[in-house]
Amino acid sequence: MKIKYNYIVIDGNIGAGKTTLATRIAEQFNAHLILEHFEDNPFLPKFYNDPEKYSFPLELSFLASRYKQLKEELAPRDLFKSFTVADYYFMKSLVFAASTLKGDEYNLYRQIFFIIYGSLPKPDIYVYLHLDTDRLLQNIEKRGRIYEQSITKEYLTKIQDSYFSFFRQNPENKYLIVDINNIDFVSDRSHYSKIIDTIFSNDYPVGLNKLIL
C-alpha cells in the first residue's frame, strides 16, 4: 500500500481507541509514533476530583507539554521511518479547555493557544474516531484507570461537541470523521483492515469528511 501522507493524526474522545490504533499503524507501516504523555501530569487526578479548582493549571500544563513534545518530535525527519503518526493533535488543548474553562480564563487560554498553534506543522490528514458516549464509558471502565472512573457522560458529550465545533470553525484542515460504533478494530482483525483501508486508500478533500464503518 502506497502511503500518501507524511504526518497523520489519530484522535478522538476519551476511550475511543486512538492510542491503540496509532500504535498499530506505526507497527504495521514502520512509522514514527508520537504518543501523548498524559499520565505524567500531576494535575490530572486532582482535576477529576476537583475540576473547579484545577482546570486552569491542568490545561496550561497540557498546553506546555504538548507544544514541547510536538516541537521536538516533528522537527527532525527520521529517514528510517515511512511517516509520522500521532495519537493527538495540538488542537486537543483548546478542545478540552473549551469544556473545562470559563470566562476570562478561557479567553486568556484561547489567546495563548492561537499564538502557539501557528508555529506547529499541520497534519496531512486528521482522523477522528467517533464513538457514542455509552461505548466510551464502557471502554473507560474496561481499561480501569482509577482517576478516570469519575468521568461522566455529560463531560464526554461536552468534549465531543467541542471537537466538532473546532472542526467547523477551522475548515482549512483535512478531517476524516470515522464512526466506529459498528466495528471493533481492537479485537477483530478484519475490522482493523477496514479502518486502515478507509484511511489510506481514499483521497479526501480539505474540510469535513464523514464515514460510517
- Based on the residue annotation, tell me whether 134 is a catalytic residue of this protein: no
pLDDT of 2 > 80? The answer is no
Q: What is the count of structural domains for the chain?
A: 1
Q: Is residue 196 part of a domain?
A: no
Q: Is residue 164 over pLDDT 90?
A: yes
Q: How far is CA 56 from CA 12, 13, 44, 48, 115, in A?
A: 22, 20, 11, 13, 18
User: Has residue 170 been placed in a domain?
Assistant: no
Region 148-175: what's the mean pLDDT?
Answer: 92
18-58 residue pLDDT tens: 999 999 999 999 999 999 987 778 888 888 888 889 999 99
pLDDT level of residue 180 (50, 70, 90 thresholds): very high
Task: Name the average pLDDT for the chain.
Answer: 92
pLDDT at 194 over 90: yes
In a domain, 187, yes or no: no
Query: Is 204 among the domain residues?
Result: no
Q: Specify if 20 maps to a domain.
A: yes
Catalytic residue among 40, 87, 124, 132: 87
C-alpha dihedral over 114, 120, 59, 72, to 10 degrees? -150
Is 190 inside a domain boundary?
no
Asked whether residue 210 is assigned to any structural domain, the reply reads no
Q: By residue range, what is the domain housing residue 88?
A: 7-165
Residue 189 domain flag: no
pLDDT tops 80 at residue 76 = no
Q: Say which range, 60-69, 116-125, 146-155, 168-177, has the weakest mean pLDDT.
A: 146-155
pLDDT score of 75 more than 90: no
CATH code (residue 129): 3.40.50.300
